[in-house]
Chains A and B, each alone.
Chain A
Amino acid sequence: MQDKRFHSVRLDKEKCRGCTNCLKRCPTEAIRVRAGRAHIIDERCIDCGECIRVCENHAKYALTDPLATINDFKYKIALPAPSLYGQFKKLISPSQILEGLLHMGFDDVFEVASGADIVTRAIRERMRSMSPERFPIISSACPAITRLIQVRFPELIPHIIDMRQPMEVAAMVAKREFCQKHGVSEEDVGCFFITPCAAKMTAIRNPIGQEKSAVDGAISMLEIYGLLAGHIKNYPSALNLSTATSYGVGWANNGGEAAAVCPEKSMAVDGIENVIRVLEEIENNKLRDLVFFEGAACTGGCVGGPLTFENSYIARNAIRSLMKGCDLRHPDEAVKTSYLTKYPLQTTKKIVPNSVMKLDDDITEAMRKMEQMEEIVKSLPGYDCGSCGSPTCRTFAEDIVRGHASKMDCIHILKDQLKIMAQKMVELAKTTRE
């Protein structure tokens, strides 16, 4: 189910009114409005979901696997993201949710929070032998941030930790343990991530850092919320299915990963505009003492994802109370050492820069185009109004130079031209009358 060009974030053309809301908010300037509706530039989109959040007409949505897809497999395992635990009020333990998922029809359930525990331990081991030149280490947990770095901060790529994400580790471990326990073959088993966001869906179909994802599909939290709520009992049974530590569950909140991996000299930033600002400072070498950086595209961290149901601040508090009842040991103690060697935890593919910002592959051509761009920018009004369909006047100039737009698309320039033409018509009328 690999697709190099897959993007979860999509546009429903029928609902789009061609306004400028998403156009202005996209952090990689991946949206243009042409012929009365929005268009997403595939190469520039990082699936952060900002446009989904800001679209007033609900024209932007995240494409995820429908629940029925689980029936493509003989055996189905649910991989709940820890942010799922924050979606329900008055829970005593995450075990209630895990039981609810089993009740819904999954054959097994494996907490992504446990995957986070393993990754926490693995990152800490890895950091012990890392040269300080690699600091600050940047977390790879949020795929939207990794993609943002590929596009806008490619020189920071060497700082991204070469460790797989918790959902990948959870899928690998869950599948192997299930197959060993039940004596079935891995191809009959489907692992499904219960996702709070679009970026993780894209990361499954179009992985970064590895050839193929271990996860078979992503099911949106919004899609199963109602169904799952009906299957949750208001007290946990004696089964006590939840074994993740409070640190692992804490990854759902912004700052959770940093607290687990590197409590001293770490920084956690949420909201994509804030992350951009801090990455600029890291790029300028302004944060010299920083060892670990956790960036989340969504406010509050994963609990604030575009596919969550509960208000992110309420969910954050819910996660905090649940954490108190979990295994309080640190993953260094709680995670068995055998996990670090039994499974391939490090990423195998190098992360490459995404050079969409480049005007041309040839530097001389790029310089020529930039010269043209600067000339055009000088003749534009500088209102950044978005009426031409590009987010700013500078981007509009870039679009013209790339051959995707023409100067008359600017309504202010068009208005000025009309005034000149109208004046000429008046003068013509005067001379012909005489």
Chain B
Amino acid sequence: MQELTLADTYQVKAQDYAMAGDASAAIKRKLKQLGVDSGVLRRIAVACYEAELNLIIHSIGGTLTISMTPSEIKLASSDAGPGIPNIDQALTEGFSTASEEARNLGFGAGMGLPNMKRNADEFHIESEVGKGTQIRMRFHIKQG
């Protein structure tokens, strides 16, 4: 029998700082209603917020998708550009390509991708300049 799956996709607009955090808040609320363990929830909250912020600050717009089975939660971020030229460099703590506007708003500490990687149980990133970036994260849910 196939495991029950729930999925939801949120559109995130580029440079939309006014709505920053809205998608993460909606996702967190759902996970709380589903009774996901607090420890896992905290890690997902951090990773989700970083992913949403990255879409707003760096991309030309994209989507945040959360999908869930009783045993694991998958969080995916997808955009169509501009793409990351050097992934290893982007994953280095402290490295940031944030714009002047973003830095003035307090963003651009260079901890986004490293934080996502640290909080997720599994982390995959693919990117091509001109095509876009896909990030896939997995979080294991404790049973019982």
Q: What residues of chain A have their CB less than 8 Å away from a CB belonging to chain B?
A: 152, 154-155, 157, 280-281, 283-286, 353, 355, 357-361, 363-364, 366-368, 370-371, 398
- Which of B28-36, B78-86, B87-95, B126-134 is found at the contact surface with chain A? B28-36
Please measure, in the bound complex, the distance between the C-alpha atom of A155 and the C-alpha atom of B39, giving whole angstroms: 6
B65 CB–A CB distance under 8 Å: no
Q: Is the CB of A366 within 8 A of B35?
A: yes
Please measure, in the bound complex, the distance between the C-alpha atom of A353 and the C-alpha atom of B38, giving whole angstroms: 9
Given A283-B45, A367-B68, A371-B6, check contact A360 B28 (CB 8 Å): no
Q: Is the CB of B38 within 8 A of A364?
A: no
Q: Is the CB of B42 within 8 A of A155?
A: yes
Q: Is the CB of A370 within 8 A of B6?
A: yes
Please measure, in the bound complex, the distance between the C-alpha atom of A360 and the C-alpha atom of B35, giving whole angstroms: 7
Q: Which of A285, A286, A359 contacts B34 (CB 8 A)?
A: A359
Q: Is the CB of A286 within 8 A of B6?
A: no
Please measure, in the bound complex, the distance between the C-alpha atom of A281 and the C-alpha atom of B46, giving whole angstroms: 10
Q: Is the CB of B35 within 8 A of A152?
A: no
Please measure, in the bound complex, the distance between the C-alpha atom of A368 and the C-alpha atom of B35, giving whole angstroms: 13
Q: What residues of chain B have their CB less than 8 Å away from a CB belonging to chain A?
A: 4, 6, 21, 24-25, 28, 30, 32-36, 38-39, 41-42, 45-46, 49, 68, 70, 115, 141
Q: Is the CB of B141 within 8 A of A283?
A: no
Q: Is the CB of B34 within 8 A of A366?
A: yes
Looking at chain B's contact residues, the main secondary structure is helix
Please measure, in the bound complex, the distance between the C-alpha atom of A154 and the C-alpha atom of B38, giving whole angstroms: 6
Closest to B142 in A: A363
Q: Is the CB of B4 within 8 A of A357?
A: no
Q: Is the CB of B21 within 8 A of A358?
A: no
**Cβ-Cβ contact count across A and B, 8 Å cutoff:** 62
Q: Which of A152, A284, A367, A368 contacts B45 (CB 8 A)?
A: A284
Closest to B143 in A: A363
Q: Is the CB of B38 within 8 A of A370?
A: no
Q: Is the CB of A370 within 8 A of B34?
A: yes
Residues of B with C-beta under 8 A to A283? 28, 42, 45
Please measure, in the bound complex, the distance between the C-alpha atom of A367 and the C-alpha atom of B6, giving whole angstroms: 7
Residues of A with C-beta under 8 A to B21? 280-281, 284
CB distance from A160 to the nearest CB of B (A): 13
Residues of A with C-beta under 8 A to B42? 155, 283
Q: Which of B4, B25, B28, B32 contacts A364 (CB 8 A)?
A: B4
CB distance from B27 to the nearest CB of A (A): 11
Residues of B with C-beta under 8 A to A286? 49
Q: Is the CB of B33 within 8 A of A370?
A: yes
Q: Is the CB of B33 within 8 A of A285?
A: no
Q: Is the CB of B35 within 8 A of A359?
A: yes
Given A280-B21, A284-B24, check contact A370 B39 (CB 8 Å): no
Residues of A with C-beta under 8 A to B24? 284
Closest to B42 in A: A155
A-B contact pairs, 23 of them (CB 8 A): A154-B32, A155-B42, A157-B38, A280-B21, A284-B21, A284-B45, A284-B46, A285-B45, A285-B46, A285-B49, A285-B115, A355-B35, A358-B33, A358-B35, A361-B35, A363-B36, A364-B70, A366-B33, A366-B35, A367-B4, A370-B30, A370-B33, A371-B4
Please measure, in the bound complex, the distance between the C-alpha atom of A296 and the C-alpha atom of B114, giving whole angstroms: 34
Q: Is the CB of A155 within 8 A of B33?
A: no
Closest to A363 in B: B70
Please measure, in the bound complex, the distance between the C-alpha atom of A314 and the C-alpha atom of B46, giving whole angstroms: 40
Highest count of chain A CB atoms <10 Å: which of B25, B28, B35, B49: B35
CB distance from B23 to the nearest CB of A (A): 12
Residues of A with C-beta under 8 A to B39? 155
Closest 5 CB pairs of A and B: A155-B38, A358-B35, A284-B49, A155-B42, A285-B46
Residues of B with C-beta under 8 A to A281? 21
Q: Is the CB of B41 within 8 A of A367?
A: no
Closest to B35 in A: A358
- Excluding A358-B34, A363-B141, A368-B4, 15 further A-B contacts by CB distance (< 8 Å) are A155-B39, A155-B42, A280-B28, A283-B45, A284-B24, A284-B45, A285-B45, A285-B115, A353-B38, A355-B35, A357-B33, A359-B33, A359-B34, A363-B70, A367-B6
Given A283-B28, A284-B24, A286-B49, check contact A363 B34 (CB 8 Å): yes
Please measure, in the bound complex, the distance between the C-alpha atom of A93 and the C-alpha atom of B135, giving whole angstroms: 63
Residues of B with C-beta under 8 A to A371? 4, 6
